[in-house]
Structure 1
Amino acid sequence: MKFDLETVRGIAELAKLELTEDEIATYAGQLAHILTYFEHLQELDTSQIEPTASVLPFTNVMRKDVAQPALDPSEVIANAPDSDANQFRVSAVLPE
Structure 2
Amino acid sequence: MPETPENAEASAQITRDEVAHLANLARIDLSDAELDHLAPQLSVILDSVRSISAVAGDDVPPTSHPMPLTNVFRDDVAVPGLNAEQALAMAPQSEQQRFMVPRILGDEQ
TM-score, L = length of structure 1: 0.50
Give the match for residue 57 of structure 1: 68
Q: Which has the higher contact order (CA 8 A, sep 6+)?
A: 1
Q: Which moved more, 1:21-30 or 1:5-14?
A: 5-14
Q: Tell me the distance in 2 between the aligned counterparts of 1:8 and 1:22.
A: 12
Paired residues for 1:6-85 under 5 Å: 6-61=17-72
Larger Rg: 2
Secondary structure at the residue paired with 2:37? helix
Q: Render the CA deviation track for 1:2-56: whole Å, top value 9, x for unaligned.
A: 1012221122123322211121111111101111111211221535544444322
Q: Tell me the distance in 1 between the aligned counterparts of 2:25 and 2:74.
A: 36
- Alpha-carbon RMSD: 2.6
Ranges in structure 1 where 5+ consecutive residues have no aligned partner: 66-96
Report how many residues are paired: 65
